[in-house]
Amino acid sequence: MNIIKTSEIAEISSTGDTVIIDARGGADAEDRFDAGHLDGALFVNLETDLSQKSENAAEGGRHPLPEAKKFARLLGQLGITPTTKVIVYDDKRGAMAAARFWWMLKAAGHEEVYVVSGGLEAIKKEGLLLSQDALTLLTEYPDYPFDAWLSPTVGLEEVAHAAENPDFVVIDVRENYRYRGESEPIDLVAGHIPGAVNIPYIDNMDEDGNFLSPEVLKQKYSEVLAGKAPEKIIVHCGSGVTACHTLLAMEEAGITGANLYVGSWSEWSRNDKPIATGEK
């Protein structure tokens, strides 16, 4: 189980060592956290904690992964050890920083990490206690014991070869209008990787922003993947963040081990690679 309902937060938190993470992105991420977060949650910033940005997005995209040792240190600072249960949410219905944090923890070899379906919006609807106070940890923990990302990732050239190979499937999880190239609100060029199929991440959720059931997700992805092995599946988005939402949905559906293209469209579109528009 990787996804939980808001009603399960208290039960999980009450059974042993548990850390709750509020993960957010954007320039005002910390201000939004300060304005109201789940009582007892610790803040994690997508832009500085879950990414290691450079001035050149052509090398790794807009949200490259940080070095493993930097993330290992962050986990220690958050009080997370290999036996800690981690609950994570964000204010984007779990589709942004929470999914990225989930992927990174799994890629560090962590077992018990749960994403709150529906995120902060669902937490508010549940009537759970919110706070504007920052939680201060009194104990210094050692770095988390890992030194290399364990979950599969692929780079620019691997994606280029895979997109031309019918044995692979490259999934673009951005909204359909971005895939079709009608407009591009974030990156420099509109369109998509030729050969990629579009399965928007928002289709992993119902009208209330909660994840669809594992059974529905399994049927949904099984139809598209047509029996392809996970190592032949590559998932990307704009900058390697919402792609993690789809990897989480696939994991919940029993499809484990698909590749994350971290650089995603933000890298591809800056490297003089071919660009397609329309539905194919």
Pairing mode, if any, of strands 18-24 and 42-45?
parallel
Whole-angstrom Cα Rg for the chain: 18
Measured in degrees and rounded to the nearest 5, phi and psi for residue 211 equal -60, 140
Cα–Cα dist 166/156, whole Å:
18
Q: Where are the beta strands (DSSP E) in the chain?
A: 3-4, 18-24, 37-38, 42-45, 85-89, 113-116, 130-131, 153-154, 169-172, 197-198, 233-236, 259-261
Looking at the DSSP bridge assignments, the partners of residue 192 are: 276
Angle at CA 128, nearest 5°, toward 127 and 134? 135
User: Hey, what amino acid is at 243?
Assistant: A
- Beta partners for residue 236, in sequence order: 172
- What is the chain's length? 280
Q: Helices marked H in the chain — which ranges?
A: 9-13, 29-35, 68-77, 97-107, 119-126, 156-163, 176-180, 214-225, 242-252, 264-268
Residue 244 annotated as catalytic: no
- The β-bridge relationship of strands 113-116 and 3-4 is parallel
- Of 50, 237, 248, 253, which one is the catalytic site residue? 237
**So which residues are the catalytic ones?**
237
